[in-house]
């Protein structure tokens, strides 16, 4: 049986709150949240999802990058679950590229992000991991991490000229 999950839209208070750390990582509750997040992500053609986007203020994110209608050039990285993630190192260099968000449908914006980041996180099995993300995957992580700290990607746009409609964006790719 499939649960229909609503995605929080810009203006919902949950998107502006700092998400709470997950304490009981191996609990059924957390496993259920992750399952719902994976199901939601697959249905939405997204490449990442943070728990606050489904109205759950917990530090959980999933990166699930693959080419799809919204991101035709996305590299492949499926269903990486990161719990209580933390950026521990960033590159000096940033680049500006297009982003969209399931919580802000209909627009895209050019957002500056670090090219390379080092991240610590816990797995669903409560194992500590450190991973390096580069380029598009680093961008996805930083976008989802923003959701965990009460930000959305348009907060990082440098000029309103970098914001366009989804329709115009599709004509560019």
Structure tokens at 40: 């939601």
91 is in an annotated binding site: no
Residue 84 located in a structural domain: yes
Given the residues 144, 158, 166, 167, select the one marked as catalytic.
Answer: 144
Residue 51 located in a structural domain: yes
Which of 57-66, 68-77, 93-102 is predicted least confidently? 68-77
Domain of 168, CATH number, reads 3.90.45.10
Q: Cα-Cα-Cα-Cα dihedral of 143, 25, 79, 3, to 10°?
A: -90
**Mean pLDDT to the nearest integer, 99-127:** 97
Please, are residues 65 and 77 in contact by the beta-carbon 8 Å criterion?
Answer: yes
Q: What is the pLDDT of residue 95?
A: 96
164 is in an annotated binding site: no
Please, are residues 158 and 135 in contact by the beta-carbon 8 Å criterion?
Answer: no
User: Is pLDDT of 157 > 70?
Assistant: yes
**In angstroms, rounded to a whole number, what is the distance separating the alpha carbons of residues 166 and 140?**
18
101 is in an annotated binding site: yes
Q: What is the pLDDT of residue 44?
A: 87
Known active-site residue 144: yes
Please, are residues 62 and 41 in contact by the beta-carbon 8 Å criterion?
Answer: yes
**Mean pLDDT to the nearest integer, 74-89:** 94
| Domain coverage including residue 133 | 13-172
**In sequence order, which residues have a C-beta less than 8 Å from that of residue 121 and are 6 or more positions away?**
82, 83, 84, 85, 86, 128, 129, 131
* Confidence band for 1, pLDDT divided at 50, 70 and 90: very low
Record the pTM: 0.94
């Amino acid at each position: 049986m499939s649960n229909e999950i609503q995605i929080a839209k810009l203006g919902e208070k949950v998107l502006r709150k700092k998400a709470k750390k997950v304490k009981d990582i191996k609990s059924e509750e957390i496993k259920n949240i992750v399952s719902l997040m994976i199901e939601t992500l697959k249905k939405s053609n997204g490449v990442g999802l943070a728990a606050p986007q489904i109205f759950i203020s917990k530090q959980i994110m999933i990166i699930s990058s693959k080419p799809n209608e919204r991101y035709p050039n996305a590299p492949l990285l499926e269903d990486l679950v990161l719990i209580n993630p933390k950026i521990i190192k960033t590159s000096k260099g940033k680049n500006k590229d297009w982003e969209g968000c399931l919580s802000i449908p209909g627009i895209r914006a050019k957002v500056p992000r670090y090219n390379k980041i080092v991240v610590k996180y816990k797995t669903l099995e409560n194992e500590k991991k450190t991973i390096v993300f580069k380029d598009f995957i680093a961008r996805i992580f930083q976008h989802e991490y923003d959701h965990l700290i009460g930000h959305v990607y348009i907060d990082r746009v440098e000029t309103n000229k970098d914001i366009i409609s989804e329709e115009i964006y599709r004509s560019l790719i």
